[in-house]
Chains A and B, each alone.
Chain A
Amino acid sequence: MLAYIIKRILYAIPILIGVNLITFMLFFMVNTPDDMARAQLGAKQTTPAMIAAWKAEKGYDKPLFYNEKATGTAKLTDTLFVNESLKLFWFDFGLSDANRNIAEDIRARMGPSLAIALPTFLIALVTNISLALLLVLFRGSVLDMSAMVVAVMIMSVSGLFYIIAGQVLFSKIWHWVPISGYESGWSGVKFVLLPVAIGVFAGLGSGVRWFRSIFLEQINQDYVRTARAKGLSEIAVLFRHVLPNGMLPILTGVVVIIPSLFMGSLIMESFFGIPGLGSYTIDAINAQDFAIVKAMVFLGSVLYIVGLILTDISYTLFDPRVTL
């Protein structure tokens, strides 16, 4: 088990180096630092001196991969790639273009992101699975058919509409919850309710359909027929046989997103004014802050790979046939 985890972590290193190379190429080779300086300073009256000063201030004045002017190993280390990209491996995100410490910002903003993302994830998981089981119990009935029609309709509406409609109905017209904002602790619950509810509802269509198809795949298997032949009630069949056997495909799809919950939701957080990582990213995109976007890309990839490793570990917990 431990050996397997170590192997997987070692395997993740080349992938992260690849992620690093891709972001590096995107941010420093598609456009030269000179281009970025011109874009940041405004295209009109930029003198070469201003560009040089901007690059020196950000540390972007080094060569990309190989520094001829340096001596010894510094030839390879005193470069943009090592300074700007490899540093990320130690979670040293450096300073943003507005000279703020990115690592500190991220630590402060993870909490609010989780406060929205975690309840949404858990409540959605439970609701989706329960509804899917209910539909599988009544499969082929009018209830099942009409629920599937509703599910396709829910899927066909952009998430933006749910947020806007929710804010107008529950905050503007009925005044049940504040329209946006955030507080930590229990007093913040009123800010969290609406985003969580909307998040759960928006994912209902695709979620229920997905879980339903997983359970339907199981329900035609021989072991289900055997269970029925033993005289088990349909509900007992569902909970004792279909649900545990459906766990494996469910784990594949679900566990991988758990670490990414830290990243928060871009749209939700910016609409509701939650000071999390999602709105952090949006602000960075709008301010064209390359350092923050680069850091978030790297962080997102790390969390995704952690999710993949967790998925494999969870298999061993739920499926006795799998040993690592």
Chain B
Amino acid sequence: MTLFFLWTDILVWTLVAAALLGGWMLLRSPVSRQKWVTIFRSKIAMASVIVLFFYLVFALLDSVHFKVDKPNGGTPIVSLLDMAMAHQKDFSERTYSAPFATHEYTKSIVVDAKGVSTQRYLPLKYVSSGQMLSGSIQGLLTGALIAVFLIGIHLLWRAKGSVGAHFKAVMHGNTQLPWRTAYGVFALMTLLLAWLYVMSFSYHVLGTDKVGGDVFYAALKSIRTGVLIGTLTTLVTLPLAIFLGVSAGYFRGWVDDLIQYLYTTLSSIPGVLLIAAGVLMMQVMMDNHPEWFASTIERSDLRLLFLIVILGVTSWTGLCRMLRAETLRIAKMDFVTAAKAFGVSKWRIMARHIVPNLTHIILISIVLDFSGLVLAEAVLSYVGVGVDPTMYSWGNMINQARLEMAREPMVWWSLFASFIFMFILVLAANLFSDRVQQVLDPRNAQ
């Protein structure tokens, strides 16, 4: 078993490192530290971030891949999440089954020993019935234990002085940040996930899809796709937008004309069509270079990477325009003139004096774009220019579910699962971005 890095794994961990570094640099300044404390003082923002944190953990768990040597040959690439869900990944039923069902959803024709054929509901293979109560108790207890343990550690870490007094303050909601809300949401999510996880050993908690695959597993795997598209795209967007926007605003003249021409041209092409054209070309390129990937998982990963790059290259124009306007304004200010008078080089002025004053615009655009990108993935996958059809993604799940809704009786759980998973993520992201915008946007300052 060896560690194996997919392209997007490398990028995602780079992003985590960059985010930690950026966060540390931001929090060094007392002013921006105060801003962030203000952001988290809102209970809704705190609750949203806890929810987002859970999604991030699943995305990261699914971004650590191993090459496993199977005794019967073959070296499949599996992630930590796959290992935790191996009981659902490696065994699949024959066809549809409802959540917590013990039998298949449709009747099958069975021929018994006497040669009489009957129609009946076949029992599911990997379901052990009668575990409802004991499984639930076991799951909820495990969840409660984990939650109490982790919250306890956090309480001890936050307590300055008497732990008892701190605990009381949290319980009465008298802390500077709304920790009571945070702990509540954290405990709720942990209980729910622990229950679902323990139950998934005896049941298909969200049913199975057309070929008998577990829907809960598919929805969990889709988290990585959604979160990656929402976050990694900014990794492509930011350097382009910052470099071009700041250069245009600072140098002006022909540099400004050229960059303005570039983004006006790009932004006048309808987004979906440009992405579609880009993805079509990428497909042709990948069809002609089969040597770039060794397995289907690497193939779909490469396609995800290309999709992220295409999304990034087509979506930097809005941010660039804003950064250019703000740079134009800042470059006229006294401290920039002073820096020029001291003989500070152009690039240094841009890096040390201008870009730090743009952070609020950049941060707002990151959080604002995230939910849009998650939703865009679903639409693009439906149009046929999204992620690889073999990849787990909410878009692909919806795409399949569309046909299932026409069945009689309706197969609703795939759609339901992708709906819930997506809705919670996007809602949390939207609520959080509202708060970030409210606090960081200087136009809202009182």
Binding site for B on A (CB under 8 A): 14-15, 18-19, 22-23, 26-27, 30-31, 35-36, 38-39, 43, 152-153, 155-161, 164, 167-168, 172, 260, 263, 266-267, 270-271, 281-282, 285-286, 288, 290, 293-294, 296-297, 300-301, 304-305, 308
Contacts and interface: CB of A to CB of B under 8 A. Distances in A.
Contacts of A296: 273
Contacts of B199: none
A158 B410 CA distance: 21
A164 B382 contact: no
Contact of A156 (B371, B383, B398): B371
A43 B284 CA distance: 10
A-B residue pairs, 4 tightest by C-beta: A18-B265, A300-B270, A156-B427, A156-B426
A260 B270 CA distance: 9
Given A156-B371, A158-B422, A15 B264 contact: yes
Given A157-B423, A285-B385, A297-B277, A19 B398 contact: no
**Which of A23, A38, A43, A160 has the most chain B CB within a 10 Å cutoff?**
A160
Contact of B398 (A161, A285, A288, A301): A161
B269 A19 contact: yes
A160 B273 contact: no
Contact of A38 (B264, B287, B384, B398): B287
B379 interface: yes
B183 to A, nearest CB: 23
Contacts of A26: 277-278, 281
B104 to A, nearest CB: 23
B269 A39 contact: no
Contacts of A14: 261
B405 A168 contact: yes
A112 to B, nearest CB: 18
B375 interface: yes
A152 B438 CA distance: 15
Contacts of A156: 371, 423, 426-427, 430
A160 to B, nearest CB: 5
Given A35-B288, A152-B430, 11 more contacts: A30-B285, A31-B281, A31-B288, A39-B287, A43-B287, A160-B379, A285-B276, A293-B276, A297-B269, A300-B270, A304-B270
A178 B339 CA distance: 68
Contacts of A18: 261-262, 265
Contacts of B406: 172
